[in-house]
Amino acid sequence: MADSQDLLFELGTEELPPKSLLTLRNALEEGIVAGLKKADLAHGEIIAYATPRRLAVWIKDLATAQPDRTVERRGPAVKATYQADGSPSKAAEGFARSCGVSLEQMGTIKTDKGEWLAFSENKTGKPTEQLIGDILSKSLTALPVAKRMRWGSGTTEFVRPVKWVVLLFGTEVINSTILGIKADRNSRGHRFHAPALINIREAASYAEQLLESGHVEVSFETRRTQIEQQAIELAGTVSGHAHIEPALLDEITALVEWPVGVMGGIDERFLALPAEVLITTMQDNQKYFPVKAESGELLPWFITFSNIDSTNPESVRKGNERVVRPRLADAEFFWNQDRKQPLENRVEKLGSIIFQKQLGTLLDKTERVEKLAALIAEEIGADKTLSRRAAHLAKTDLMTEMVGEFASLQGIIGRYYAAADGEPGEVAQAIEEQYFPKQSGGKLPECKTGQVLALAEKLDTLCGIFSAGLMPTGDKDPYALRRAAIGILRIILEKRLDLNLVELIEKSCGLFSHEFDREKTQKLLLTFCLERLKGLFLEEGFSADELDAVLSVHPTRPLDFEERLQAVKAFRSLPESESLAAANKRIRNILRKAGSLSQHAVDTKQLIEPAEKQLWEQTQNASEAIAPLLSQRDYSAALKRLALLREVTDLFFDEVMVMADDEAIRNNRLTLLSATGNLFLSIADISKLQ
């Protein structure tokens, strides 16, 4: 037998959940790779496939067996092998018994710590056929499936019922049972075009056989490219371009094994509706690609994908048009009904919706956010009147028929209705922008009122949920508090808003009327936000020790934090940085060991050594020089100026005994070191730099 062969594994199922298909495929591949590594089975390239009815993996050049290996075990020390009466110790006997040999058959090994009993044996590697079934089963069990199902009378569980299993090593079937199904070489083609069994010859022929005989394109990436290309070509036939969002492209790819694009149309009267309503209906409900003109306006067309190559494509087109028409008609009805009353009339109705049982209703939240928005607006120079008005109307679209039907359009619909009501443009814009950013890296509010409202809304949610004791745990974050915190920080940093995080949290917490430990909540929330801030800066390329250096001085303004961080990064590139970081670390250690100081100012009369006099003089000069720089928050220039202290600091440690016998002199020198170290601490604790 060859030293390696290709392996094919295919798991055939009923239709898998489309939004999870890629995740399942990738997790299966990762699990198999980890299992092969653990089993010490060498292999070449791995190609993973996924269609609605199958997950498959082709492993190239998989070793036919584990390598033989020598296993060495170390036992108790040789000196502990025998007791005083010459009989074997229990530890020695137990070790020999666990190795399956007598004590006399034991060897020994010598180390720098002594001589030990030892046993070594040669183990023959197991054949791959004996190992692969368990590797595959464990990989399938470990797949990230929220809820598994059973089928038939068995107890086997998987995300969907399993119908067949193909498991080939080279050209031979491996005798194995996976998820209750005995493996063979018979795959299945397209459910309608090629329902007969397909006898797979070997792994290398799998994709080609399924394509030619089975009417199935097993490669997810190939199907995705086909779908995208067909959509582009079809849109071009009406002088438009397909509006293709990656998530929907993946979902449609996961719904079909043989994609066939179909162009359909909608009544032009529906184009009077907001474009977002049409797009949401087509994308979320129908899985269609909308078609846009070059100008960006919607055209009365859509592109859908069928899983069959119909002999009557006109019937497929008409069927899809017939399905989407009533959905759009419903949206049109909601649009007309909602606009019969202004958003203002819906404010009081927010009192009927509970936000959170300890925090009251959406009306209570609205009133808190109004007050907080006014405070933030004043801080950043935004219009208080507009900010309060936007906060007042922010949640009213939740009471509309349109958002009741299309929940993902909250904020967007509010913007349209506010504009229709004659509200100021910035108020309407802010109602939509309160939810920005909607995802990681998403766009931020553009207008000042939108920035104010987004900050106030997220702060109220964060402070409220924390005050109710419902902080995120592990990977569970039902109130999306991590996203809210990151959103706040991104808005502050990227929009250059010089806001104090501690003050924002205190002001927001002060608006709640229920009983809670305010001080504890504020501390927990500040720590939570700083952790998110740290994560953002790590993503930007700052190092952990640079972040620790800044965190040590507890800056409360994210912009100020960023400026200090950039200064520390610039400082560490200076030739003096390493020596000064070490000196500051030494200062911190000396002061920590010395404990509290009774002396509060340096007594120049007790400065005896030239080196300490020089350090005091240079420290004073540096203090005066950096004072205006600190007031301007020019931390880079300040640290560059402090770098000039390197020579006198090094000289001080070379020539001065800090812990002198004379208590007064000792305390004076400690106070001098404290004064020098505090200059750096006015920016960051550079002793943290590695």
How is 619-638 classified by DSSP, letter by letter? HHHHHHHHHHHHHTT-HHHH
Q: Is the pLDDT of residue 2 over 70?
A: no
Summarised one tens digit per residue, pLDDT across range 532-575 is 999 999 999 999 999 999 999 999 999 999 999 999 999 898 88
CA distance 482 to 504: 17
Is 173 in the same domain as 308? no
- Please give the single-letter amino acid code of residue 287: K
DSSP letter for each residue of 293-344: -TTS-EEEEEEEEESS--S-HHHHHHHHHHHHHHHHHHHHHHHHHHTTS-GG
CATH code: domain of residue 141? 3.30.70.260
Supply the mean pLDDT for the chain. Answer: 93
**Would you say residue 107 lies in a domain?**
yes
Task: State the DSSP H helix or E strand holding residue 49, giving kind and residue range, or none if neither.
Answer: strand 46-51
Q: Span 408-432, mean pLDDT?
A: 97
pLDDT reading at 1 higher than 50: no
Cα 433 from chain centre:
22
Written as six digits, the tokens of 330 are 């419903």
CA distances to 10, 55, 121, 166 from 163, rounded to whole Å, are 11, 12, 44, 11
Q: Cα angle at 222 between 172 and 244, to 5 degrees?
A: 150
246 domain residue, yes or no: yes
Residue 404 falls inside a structural domain: no
Considering Cα of 324, then 330, then 332, then 338, what sign does the dihedral take?
negative
Q: What is d(CA 429, CA 423) in angstroms, rounded to the nearest whole number?
A: 10
Residues 516 and 653 grouped into a single domain: no
**Domain endpoint, select from 180, 214, 248:** 214
Looking at residue 284, the DSSP 8-state letter turns out to be: I
What's the pLDDT tens digit per position in 457-507?
A: 999 999 999 999 999 988 889 999 999 999 999 999 999 999 999 999 999
Bridge partners for 54 per DSSP? 12, 51
Among the candidates 214, 241, 270, a domain finishes at: 214
376-379 long-range contacts (CB < 8 A, ≥24 apart) are: 376/452, 376/455, 376/456, 376/499, 376/504, 377/448, 377/449, 377/452, 379/497, 379/499
Q: Are residues 475 and 429 in the same domain?
A: yes
Give the helix ranges, DSSP H, for 394-517: 401-405, 412-420, 425-433, 448-467, 481-494, 501-509
For residue 284, count CB atoms less than 10 angstroms from its CB and return exposed for 0-12, middle for 13-18, buried for 19 or more: middle
Q: Are residues 151 and 44 in the same domain?
A: yes
Q: Which of 541, 563, 587 is the last residue of a domain?
A: 541
CA distance linking residue 450 with residue 444, whole number of Å: 9
Which residues are CB-neighbours of 599 under 8 A, at least 6 positions away? 667, 668, 670, 671
Structural domain count, the chain: 5
The reply to whether 254 and 318 lie within a common domain is yes
419-434 mean pLDDT: 97
Rounded to 5 degrees, what are φ and ψ at 210? -65, -35
Give the model's pLDDT for residue 598. 61
Residues 6+ apart with CB under 8 A from 369: 391, 394, 453, 456, 457, 460
Considering the domain architecture, whether residues 37 and 168 belong to the same structural domain is answered as yes
Q: List the Cα angle 595/599/604 in 5-degree steps.
A: 130
456, 363: one domain: yes
Same domain, 470 and 504: yes
Residue 593 has pLDDT above 90, yes or no: no
Segment 616-633 mean pLDDT? 92
Place of tokens 């790590």: 538
Greater confidence (349 vs 112) lies with: 349
**Which token pair is 355?**
């936000």
The amino acid sitting at 368 is R
Which ranges of 495-576 does DSSP label H, i.e. alpha helix?
501-509, 518-539, 544-551, 558-571
Lowest mean pLDDT among 75-89, 200-214, 352-366, 447-461: 75-89
Contact 176, 188 (CB under 8 A): no
Q: Is the pTM of this model over 0.75?
A: yes
**Tokens 């007064």 — which residue?**
664
| Residue 6 pLDDT grade (very low, low, confident, very high; cuts 50, 70, 90) | very high
pLDDT digits (tens, 9 = 90+) for 321-337: 999 999 999 999 999 99
pLDDT of 378 > 50? The answer is yes
For residues 25-46, average pLDDT: 96
pLDDT of residue 590: 86
In the chain, % of residues over pLDDT 90: 76
Report the pLDDT value the prediction gives residue 661, as an integer from 0 to 100: 83
Helices vs strands, H then E, count in the chain: 24, 20
**Can you give the C-alpha Rg of the chain in angstroms?**
35
Which residues, 6 or more positions from 480, have their beta carbon under 8 angstroms from its beta carbon? none
641 domain-assigned? yes
Q: Which of 84, 112, 107, 86 is nearest to 96 (CA)?
A: 107
Mean of the pLDDT values across residues 626-638? 93
Reading the block at residue 323, the tokens are 């399905």
Q: Does any domain span residue 559?
A: no
pLDDT for position 33: 97
**DSSP three-state, residue 60:** strand
Residue 332 falls within a domain, yes or no? yes
State the pLDDT confidence band at 599, using cuts at 50, 70 and 90: low
pLDDT at residue 152 greater than cutoff 80: yes
User: Residue 392 above 90 pLDDT?
Assistant: yes
Q: How many CA atoms lie within 13 A of 559 on its CB side?
A: 12
Contact 159, 20 (CB under 8 A): yes
Please give the pLDDT value at position 86. Answer: 66
Output the CA angle 284-390-349, nearest 5 degrees.
70
Instruction: Provide the pLDDT confidence category of residue 94 given band limits of 50, 70 and 90.
Output: confident
105: tokens are: 């058959």
Please give the average per-residue pLDDT across 364-383, as a whole number. 97
d(CA 644, CA 636): 13
What is the Cβ-side half-sphere exposure of residue 556, based on CA atoms within 13 angstroms?
12
Residues 210 and 224 in one domain: no
Residue 158 and residue 19 in one domain: yes
In a domain, 417, yes or no: no
Same domain, 55 and 175: yes
User: Which of 91-95, 280-284, 509-513, 625-629 shows the lowest mean pLDDT across its residues?
Assistant: 91-95
Regarding whether 371 and 333 lie in a shared domain, the answer is: no
- d(CA 652, CA 580) in angstroms, rounded, equals 12
Range of the domain at 447: 358-381+424-541
Which has the closest alpha carbon to 231: 252, 211, 247? 252
More confident residue, 80 or 346: 346
Q: Does any domain span residue 191?
A: yes
Decide if pLDDT at 106 tops 80: no
